[in-house]
Amino acid sequence: MLKLLSSTSSRVHCLTTPTPSLRIKQEPNSVFYALGRLTGLTQRSPKNSFFRACFCSDSSNGSGSGSGSQPAVEVDEKGAESQSGSDSKASSAIVSTYPKPEDYLTVLALPLPHRPLFPGFYMPIYVKDPKLLAALQESRKRQAPYAGAFLLKDEPGTESSTSSETEKSVYDIKGKELFNRLHEVGTLAQISSIQGDQVILIGHRRLRITEMVSEDPLTVKVDHLKRKPYNKDDDVIKATSFEVISTLRDVLKTSSLWRDHVQTYSQHIGDFNFPRLADFGAAISGANKLQCQQVLEELDVHKRLQLTLELVKKEMEISKIQESIAKAIEEKISGEQRRYLLNEQLKAIKKELGLETDDKTALSAKFKERLEPNREKCPPHVLQVIEEELTKLQLLEASSSEFNVTRNYLDWLTVLPWGNYSDENFDVIRAQTILDEDHYGLTDVKERILEFIAVGKLRGTSQGKIICLSGPPGVGKTSIGRSIARALNRKFFRFSVGGLSDVAEIKGHRRTYIGAMPGKMVQCLKNVGTANPLVLIDEIDKLGRGHAGDPASALLELLDPEQNANFLDHYLDVPIDLSKVLFVCTANVVDNIPNPLLDRMEVIAIAGYIADEKMHIARDYLEKTAQETCGVKPEQVEVTDAALLGLIENYCREAGVRNLQKHIEKIYRKIALRLVREGSSNESVISGEVVQSAEAKAEVDETDQHAAANETAAEVESVGNSSHELKSESSVQTSDQPKDPKDATETEKLKETETSKAVEKVSVDASNLADFVGKPVFHAERIYDQTPVGVVMGLAWTAMGGSTLYIETTEVEQGEGKGALHVTGQLGDVMKESAQIAHTLARTILLEKEPANPFFANTKLHLHVPAGATPKDGPSAGCTMITSLLSLAMKMPVRKDLAMTGEVTLTGKILPIGGVKEKTIAARRSEVKTIIFPSANKRDYDELAPNVREGLDVHFVDDYSQIFNLAFDNNTGN
């Protein structure tokens, strides 16, 4: 009830205008005086000069009929309670009417959707049915303003707590259906006034429906109910009423609205008696409609008081909970307000004393302080933007979202190193030393970096370039970029664009987006703190393309020397000079890089390493790193050259050295495990020998001591066997340990030396290499020691480096006019076309060499390229295919140490190929001595390092006739 009677409730209203049918009579009865009449307590109360009618409704029905409430007014219940002699003197507020209320046995039935009407209270309802409204007006005109108010039952299948029938829906129910939905017990209600469709009812006495008279409007016959006789002096009834009054008093202390209810009721009804007290408590309580209906139907005064007491007790509990909630909230609010006021006062005091400024002033000071060192170097357009944003920051409220956007923007603008360049080192000799320390070989890459440094030294300044290092995985592309930064004394920043599909990663987000950030280049400049770093863009050939744009196109502005002086990031929205940045890109396959992007790069190809280079790299770099990583000392292990060579040739044939590094680390991990195991076992053996020698010496010393001194013998005899052993150990220590501490240290060192000597040095040789790395992965690429007829070795390029492959041809069947060619080996379209060209050209050459040989015209041939699971394609196998076909046709094998590559036209001309270095390395790995290259590739071969060309007999040809002479005229190699 308290929540219904609180000041925030919309369901409790107080009216200061009396209804027309009420006679106002002011009495000096106070709240406690009215309740105290039942207990014999009398108190003086102040005069009340106004009338207040109070309304209350069911707590479970938030929306009343029409106005959203179900009110009740306190009036006299004279008609219902006039039988009591003690009530005859009570003042009446009801105008006398004729006939009397108890004479009405047939009344109009009014449905009440939310709460029953109690005797002595009034309730406004809204009547939407025009016939019913007309009937009520007619009754009032006939001076018979009475009707029956009956509570409406809940619709079947719904809960009373969730019932929300409106007044309109109530009057949609008519006739017998409405009759069945009404509770039997209701209240005879006087029609006080009718204003429009609002009818004000005043409750008089209890009724019970007996039968239905008419359906539209619903008219019923009723019986007037009288309460059961009760004894006013019954102690149980008195005690129950006293408890009700006590509980009401407690509630009255916390709710002023309840006091208004009691005061108004006592003024216009008179003194409380037991039935009135029960009705009053139930009427103003917050109980639901069924509980109130139960009180209304109860005719036994004692039981009615008990029901009311339960309702009032619940109201008291709710009142306590409300009070505690209100107190907690009040304390919280007051505490926060107090803290806020104190903080504001503290800020004002500190500001007056100059001890502290506000947040916006402190932020502005921080940004200006950060910008001050680079103010002279900062471009004017950037300074202008910063000043405008600082002014804007002062005008914004700290709680606004725009304030945070501006603060973050200023944070990025002021943290960038505008015009702040690191001092570059143009010492070519130093750079050469650093590059040689970090990498073996790679002469062309080192030469290009030294050229860059030399140009910078002559010009006095260096311009940023875009270098693209392309090559197989594991050749050291990323580490080369780090070495270049160290040689140039530049800051190093690396980010990978592999799989990148969002343009915002390159160009940044718009500042209006939530969580907006600048692109990678702006983040790079913030991290390194200089405007001329070395930026390594890794895996540029693996750029993605998604719904967020094309990052490859976004990189054009970043990597174009003509545009990156005014690079525009979407977040900063001011041009940034990136012309001094040295960009180094890495890629495995250059063909995957878009041509517009590739056009802006200077490509340096890293073909890979031959076995000799891998040996040097393993000895000088990989082995040392593995020793440090695994904690193995160099003197504890020996890896022979034969073991390293076997590792390179049989396990790590890749162009790079990453796999070689993994295998070397694997060897050293197993060595570390072996050293630890052997060391642990040796320690236990050595400690066992020491114990045994100590016991032997103890026996000798103990015998000498017994012979020398009697008191020592007596001591030994008095102690048991355990003491004997203890004494022995102590005698050993005194006899063996030197008295000088220096001698003790030397003894410990000798013991450590003996332990280390006990651990044997681990040797890794070709014979036991498989114990460390398992069985060989690769076998010799040379399948044939002596190449049979129709088999020729070719050279191929792959993304992992170069490799050799055999092309084999055999005859399927012979017959007149059956000449045909069938190819297998997962060949691409280009290689299939090369096979057809080779077949046609071979027939022409055979016709020239052996005119009487009809081999190709009458033989069905099968040409196969082994490793059928590997897809193969490319324009460099024509020479090899022709040689294989001619070898079979003329029954002449090809030299075993010969390998060739090159594309052939139908006229026999040899076209240039790519991957000269990779193919040369593959030939050396397969122990090939003679290589045939196209003449156009001579310049590529001349650029190779001397150690790659060493021991090779290379022939450059431009017509197939030269290959024919090299392959078949000199067969001494077979």
- Summarize pLDDT for 451-493 with one digit per residue, the tens: 888 888 888 777 777 889 988 888 888 888 899 899 888 899 9
Backbone Cα Rg of the chain: 54
Residue 70: pLDDT over 70: no
Check whether residue 443 and residue 512 sit in a common domain: yes
> CATH number for the domain including 484?
3.40.50.300
Average pLDDT of the segment spanning 791-813: 85
Bond before 116 cis per omega within 30 degrees: no
Q: Does residue 735 carry a pLDDT above 60? A: no
Do 119 and 154 belong to one domain? yes
Of 267, 203, 219, 234, nearest to 34 (Cα)? 267
The percent of residues in the chain predicted with pLDDT above 70, rounded, is: 76
Question: Does residue 457 share a domain with residue 563?
Answer: yes
pLDDT tens per residue across span 408-447 = 888 898 888 888 888 888 888 998 999 888 888 788 888 8
Domain boundary among 715, 738, 773: 773
What letter represents residue 677's amino acid? R
Q: H or E stretch including 359?
A: helix 359-371
Average pLDDT over residues 496-523: 87
Q: Does the pLDDT at position 693 exceed 70?
A: no
One domain, residues 855 and 876: yes
Where a domain ends, among 415, 441, 460?
415
**Residues forming the active site:** 876, 919
pLDDT of 536 > 90? The answer is yes
User: Is there a domain that residue 639 lies in?
Assistant: yes
How sure is the predictor about 137, in pLDDT bands with cuts at 50, 70 and 90?
Answer: confident
Do 638 and 550 share a structural domain?
no
Instruction: Give the confidence band of 317 by pLDDT, cuts at 50, 70, 90.
Output: confident
Each residue's pLDDT tens digit, 187-209: 988 888 888 888 888 888 889 88
**Region 885-897: what's the mean pLDDT?**
89
Q: Which residue has the higher pLDDT, 261 or 651?
A: 651
Close Cβ partners of 759 (under 8 Å, ≥ 6 residues apart): 636, 675, 678, 679, 682
**Which residues belong to the annotated binding site?**
471-478
Residue of 756 and 548 predicted with greater confidence? 548
639 alpha carbon, distance to own chain's centre: 48
Contacts of 538 (CB under 8 A, 6+ apart): 478, 494, 495, 496, 497, 498, 585, 586
70 three-state secondary structure: coil
CA distance 63 to 163: 10
Q: Are residues 258 and 216 in the same domain?
A: no
Is 343 inside a domain boundary?
Answer: no
pLDDT beyond 90 at 542? no
Query: Distance between the two ends of the chain, CA-based, in angstroms?
Result: 115
Count: domains in the chain:
6
pLDDT at 792 over 70: yes
Percent of all residues in the chain with a pLDDT value above 90, rounded to a whole number: 10
Confidence of residue 267 (pLDDT cuts 50, 70, 90): low
401: Cβ contacts below 8 Å, ≥ 6 apart? none
Residue 347 lies in a domain: no
Note whether 207 and 257 are same-domain residues: no
Residues 6+ apart with CB under 8 A from 646: 766, 769, 776
Domain of residue 492 covers: 428-605
CATH number for the domain that contains residue 833: 3.30.230.10
- Give the mean pLDDT of 375-383: 86
Q: Do 819 and 943 fall within a single domain?
A: yes
pLDDT at 304: 84
Per-residue pLDDT, averaged over 305-321, amounts to 84
Same domain, 505 and 568: yes
Q: Is residue 423 part of a domain?
A: no
Residue 671 sits in a domain whose CATH number is 1.10.8.60
Structure tokens at 347: 């800020």
Of 589, 605, 621, which residue is a domain's last? Answer: 605
What mean pLDDT value characterizes the chain?
Answer: 76
pLDDT over threshold 50, residue 390: yes
76/161 same-domain check: yes
pLDDT of residue 3: 32
Residue 85's pLDDT band (boundaries 50, 70, 90)? very low
Question: Does 375 fall in a domain?
Answer: yes
Question: What is the per-residue pLDDT for 33?
Answer: 53
| pLDDT 10s digits, 87-117 | 333 333 444 445 677 777 888 888 888 889 8
CATH of residue 203's domain is 2.30.130.40
Q: Which of 286, 282, 288, 280 is nearest to 114 (CA)?
A: 288
- pLDDT single digits (tens) 5-45: 333 333 333 333 333 333 333 333 444 455 555 444 333 33
Q: CA-to-CA distance for 175 and 51, rounded, in angstroms?
A: 40
- Looking at per-residue pLDDT, the higher value among 475 and 251 belongs to 475
Confidence label for 271 from pLDDT (cuts 50, 70 and 90): low
Residue 346 forms part of a structural domain: no
Confidence of residue 594 (pLDDT cuts 50, 70, 90): confident
| For residues 938-951, average pLDDT | 85
pLDDT value, residue 465: 79
- pLDDT score, position 880: 93
Q: Is residue 50 part of a domain?
A: yes
Mean pLDDT, rounded, for 223-229: 84
| Position 157 in a domain | yes
Residue closest to 66 by CA, chosen among 21, 118, 124, 19: 124
Tell me which of 67-81, 763-777, 857-871 is least confident.
Answer: 67-81
Query: Looking at the structure, do residues 307 and 261 belong to the same domain, yes or no?
Result: yes
Q: Report the binding-site residues for ATP.
A: 471-478
Residues 745 and 806 in one domain: no
How sure is the predictor about 702, in pLDDT bands with cuts at 50, 70 and 90? very low
Cα 138 to Cα 141, 144, 202, 204, 214: the distances in Å are 5, 9, 18, 20, 16
